[in-house]
Amino acid sequence: MFGLWRTYSSLDPNITWSGQTNLPPPRRLVFPHVESKKWRDYASMNQYVTRGVFPSVVIEFEQDWKAWALLPHNTLLYDRVVFSDRAAAMHGKMHKQTQRIAAEAMGLEASPHWWTTIRTALTKFAGYNLGRHSQAPVITYVSRQGWGRRMLRPADHERLVAALYDLRTKHGYEVNVVSLDKMPRAEQIKLAARTTVCS
């Protein structure tokens, strides 16, 4: 989503601070080399975010693409196409610096508000009003202590949590220590939208 929208939004340099754009939402996403079940991530965020931001989009996968190829008159005409090639992106300068495929799209000129369109649509879908902001900084620590991998040592985790709560006590910051896999997707989006600092 990140790389797709950065690329597409470069066609409208006048996206406003509120996310208004002259670009129509994508009508079709085609994954010609991906099976539908492999697109669905374990947290079900891929489909939640995509459907939340582009509720009318048609999503086609490998089996759909093969079905198109079997039709007798299989010429497809699109108004506009954005291609993404992971293998090609891995040779780009930004990927070499960041190890992120989507980073290549950041080289394109775009409005400074390019991501606001997606952020506004997704938070609205999750039931959160971006206009409401907390006065105090909101610190969110995403704990992976129950995952079995990519975890802090228990003692380091406890020290970090204690230090965060100390910030809350001394400065009045809002501190959230959360395990995202135990939260509904809408609540994850709402918390992310309110968060000032995330680790």
Instruction: Express each pLDDT in 61-119 by its tens digit.
Output: 999 999 988 988 778 888 999 998 889 989 999 989 999 989 999 999 999 999 999 99
Per-domain residue ranges of the chain: 2-126, 138-198
Percent of the chain residues topping a pLDDT of 90: 74
Range among 6-20, 27-41, 133-147 rated most confident = 6-20
**CA–CA gap between residue 173 and residue 197 (Å, rounded):** 11
Angstrom distances, CA of residue 145 to CA of 101, 156, 181, 182: 28, 11, 11, 12
Buried b / exposed e over 99-135, threshold 16 CB at 10 Å, is: eebbbbbeeeebbebbbbbbbbbbbebbebeeeeeee
pTM, full prediction: 0.84
